[in-house]
Amino acid sequence: MLDAVTDIPAFVRNGRLDILAANRLGRAFYSQHFDSPHQPVNSARFAFLDPRAQSFYLDWESVAKDMVAVLHEAAGRDPFDRALSNLVGELSTRSETFRTLWAAHNVRLHDTGVKAIHHPLVGEVTFTYESMELTADPGLTMFMYTVEPGSKSEQALNLLASWSSTPAEETAHAEHEGEPPDRSRVDA
């Protein structure tokens, strides 16, 4: 399903906020999550341990609170999830902010809304997100991001899509359409 969604960022995550899979545009959108030294890829790990997160999320404080609330919800659903306990322990020992928010015990589902980020390549993007539980894979959720048509966010997302397409994809598309591939591009 992720590969079929090509014009908007989409990804699959679990209740621990691990990003398990992403389409090409989702990977480009969250490139800093994927290249963070704090691995495996996890939105809370990025938000609380990677200093770039505070400039990536325009309302970092709200995002941080939401992430902790989602982790509390996951802990309530499965209090014996060792991976979640390990993540909470890691974040608690390495981030005073996380530790403080965790102690507040807020719980919230985080499945639809509006967010704004500052992407390092294309600038500010304001988007609406929706989620879909994957019934064939309990505990996994697919998120998709859309932007207002004709907006600066749409322009930024289109630029990111253009930037993230690879010469191999362009060649395959051109050959599929019956056009000769553009060999003038130099692969770096």
Write the pLDDT tens digit of every residue in 31-60: 999 999 999 999 999 999 999 999 999 999
Give 132's DSSP letter: E
Distance CA 110, CA 131 (A): 9
Ordered domains of the chain (ranges, CATH): 10-176 (3.30.450.180)
3 state SS of 54:
helix
What mean pLDDT do residues 150-174 have?
76
Write the pLDDT tens digit of every residue in 120-146: 999 999 999 999 999 999 999 999 999
Provide the percentage of residues in the chain whose pLDDT is more than 90: 79
* Helix (H), strand (E) at residue 115: strand 112-119
pTM, whole model, 2 decimals? 0.83
Q: Give the strand pairing for 123-133 and 140-146.
A: antiparallel
Which residue in 60, 32, 59, 29 sits closest to 46, CA to CA? 32
Query: Please, are residues 30 and 11 in contact by the beta-carbon 8 Å criterion?
Result: yes
Distance CA 131, CA 142 (A): 6
